[in-house]
Amino acid sequence: MRRARNAQRKLKKARTELEALGEITDWEDEFIASVDERLEKFDSAFADPSLGGFGEALSNKQKQVLTQMRRKIKDKSKQAPQEGPGKPQSKSQWKSSFKNKSSFKPRVRNIEDEMFDNEPEPEPATKTPPPKHKPFLKIIDGGKK
């Protein structure tokens, strides 16, 4: 009973939105009317249990047709002119409360920023000349005895 009312509500909503957009076809109108009539009379729009789940109001194919209608409504409402300044925003204008991750910039040190083209390279420190005598080994007392 509840599933039948839910299905009827979805069908009526789809019909009103399609009519508001002026995009409802004769076939869609007839489909909605016939399914709504069967839901009123039998609480189910199909008789063969192999066509849908037990206790479901709509068969699998009927659900597909309904989702195609909803997709058509969504596509056509995006193509329709947007609301003016005095009209409230639609649900398609809703923004998430999560932060936008596209503005993320990693904290990385760029070595090229620290290179200076205008400054001359520092001169190396003056080198001390090597000693002129031969290296030798010196033994220091203080080890274990």
Q: What is the pLDDT of residues 19-71, one digit of tens each?
A: 898 888 899 989 989 888 888 887 777 777 777 777 788 888 888 989 999 99
Residues 6 or more apart whose CB falls under 8 angstroms from that of 44 comprise: 4, 38, 56, 57
In Å, what is the CA distance from 109 to each residue of 113, 116, 117, 119? Answer: 8, 15, 18, 21
**Where do we find the tokens 């399609």?**
18
Q: How far apart are CA 144 and CA 138, in angstroms?
A: 17
> What's the pLDDT band for 83 if we cut at 50, 70, 90?
low
The whole-number pLDDT of residue 60 equals: 84
Tokens of 39: 């839901």
The whole-number pLDDT of residue 51 equals: 75
**Which of 38-42, 73-77, 90-94, 100-104 is the least confident region?**
90-94
The whole-number pLDDT of residue 80 equals: 64
- pTM of the complete model beyond 0.85: no
Tokens of 91: 């649900």
